[in-house]
Amino acid sequence: MAVGVKTYRNCIGGEWRDAASGKTFESVSPATGEVLGEFPESGPAEVDQAAAAARDAYAGWRLVPAPKRAEALYRFAQLLVAHKQELAELMTQEMGKVLPEAGGDVQEAIDMTYYMAGEGRRLFGQTTPSELPDKFCLSVRQPIGVCGIITPWNFPIAIPSWKITAALICGNTVVFKPATDTPLLGTRFVELLAEAGLPAGVVNLVHGPGGAVGERLVQHPDVPVLSFTGSREVGTRVAEQAAPRLKHVHLELGGKNGIVVMDDADLDLALEGVVWSAFGTSGQRCTAASRVIVHERVYDAVATRLVAAVERLRLGNGLDPETDVGPVINRGALEKIHSYTEIGLAEGAKLLTGGEVATGGELAKGWYYRPTVFGGVEAGMRIAQEEIFGPTTVLIRVRDLDEAIRVANGIEYGLSSSIFTQDVNRAFRAIRDLEAGITYINAGTTGAEVHLPFGGTKATGNGHREAGQAALDFFTEWKAVYVDYSGRLQRAQIDNQ
């Protein structure tokens, strides 16, 4: 263990425990290479213990009135507010995004927690007339059980809040596996939940790799609900492994999002939206704008102005207030991003700016890639089809709105979409025809709000949504209730012919 580095533990049944193996792994800052902590390299045994603790806690938690469950979430939200600066700085250190973005990540968790706490006095069902006399019909939501929550590193406070607060307000319990790149933020999240007064065992934390921890969680017989955010490849395996037990599975996977810029667009606004959507979080968002689909009449102007704007972006440590773009998460990500630059050049695309690993000075200590723009890109090229997940975007020229929509839809994903136009008719055609779970008009591809459903179509997921009322549908079962006060047996349709 590095000198002065703190060792952290799993949280199982309210107790902080080491992994039985005694093995650990390190969390390393992508900006500086500094070791931030050591964490238990857990395995199936720890998942089994956590699942048992969550199953035992479920028996009591499901019976706590939802408004009382909400009180714990309100306290948790207040703690997030109190610790917002600390969490944001920690996020910039552990994950790399610039400090204002990290603050936004925490704010999203605050917003989501308050929203879901408010559902403690709603969780609405329906009442409806019966087709028979002296009979009352209603439907109610019921919790399901233990939820396996597997989250990524790019939104290490926001995404756990989307999943965990929704699961808890519905009366479920949780086994939480955060990403191995951001285990310290996962730990702080659970520490604050415990400080908010959540009963022991209601949320359990298990650190470790996806192979040993994630797969056991997916396959565990006492974990009927799974919510996973990550790559399409891993998401497909989650679905396959969960299928034999008919588990409830929510998958939030990749994106290859396009911004359409029409010839009547406000180009100043469009360029601002493209730069923010493509290079915010160093392009490491499932909603990042990795394609810019531009009307031929404004293509040259957009290309020239975009390159100039990108070359003004300052690369560096996200704690520096002068920094616009931070590091990518690790060496593997850096190598993957650069491999796509080489693919784009081999395909015949024109590299307009960037396209290289940033070295020299303080940048040599971390994983930095220069913001990259390709021009002359054909819609079928790999760099226009495959998720790069880094600070790279491509420019695709189109003749009209019809072609723009065909290009935007001509990918396997369907998460976020955007169009810049001042024509209301074009805007509403885009709303109708873009194949995506999210469409923005005169805004970039990022910026979802917590009270609307979040998720995508096609290979982006399996149809479930996070956030808003839609999240409640995933974390509850519907029960239909019939109350017959007629004093006689009524046989529904048989007696209603």
**Helix H or strand E encompassing 392:** strand 392-398
SS (H, E, C) 305-366: HHHHHHHCCCECCCCCCCCCECCCCCHHHHHHHHHHHHHHHHHCCEEEECCCECCCHHHHHC
Please say whether the beta carbons of 460 and 415 come within 8 A.
yes
CA–CA gap between residue 256 and residue 409 (Å, rounded): 10
Q: Where in 157-287 does DSSP place strands (E)? A: 173-177, 203-205, 225-229, 248-252, 257-261
262-272 b/e (C-beta count within 10 Å ≥ 16 → b): bbebebeebbe
Distances, alpha carbon 356 to alpha carbons 272, 283, 487, in Å: 23, 15, 79
For residue 381 the two structure tokens come to: 């090229």
State how far Cα 178 lies from the chain centre.
Answer: 12
- Catalytic-role residue among 11, 147, 170, 286: 286
Residue 286 per-residue DSSP state: T
In the chain, the amino acid numbered 359 is T
CA distance 171 to 168: 5
- Separation between Cα atoms, residue 405 and residue 257, nearest integer Å: 12
Nearest Cα to Cα of residue 153 among 4, 289, 327, 20:
327
- Alpha-carbon distance of 215 to 331, in angstroms, equals 24
Residue pair 142/480 in contact by the 8 Å Cβ criterion: no
Q: Of 108, 252, 387, 466, which one is the catalytic site residue?
A: 252
Q: How far is CA 2 from the centre of its chain?
A: 32
Is the Cβ–Cβ distance between 253 and 459 less than 8 Å?
yes
Burial per residue of 448-486, b for 16 or more beta-carbon CB atoms within 10 angstroms, e otherwise = bebeebbbbbbbbbbebbbbbeebbbbbbeeeeeeeeee
Q: Residue holding tokens 């298990």?
A: 206
Query: Strand 135-142 vs strand 477-484: parallel, antiparallel, or unpaired?
Result: antiparallel
CA distance 58 to 96: 36
Question: Among this protein's residues, is 286 annotated catalytic?
Answer: yes
Catalytic residues: 252, 286
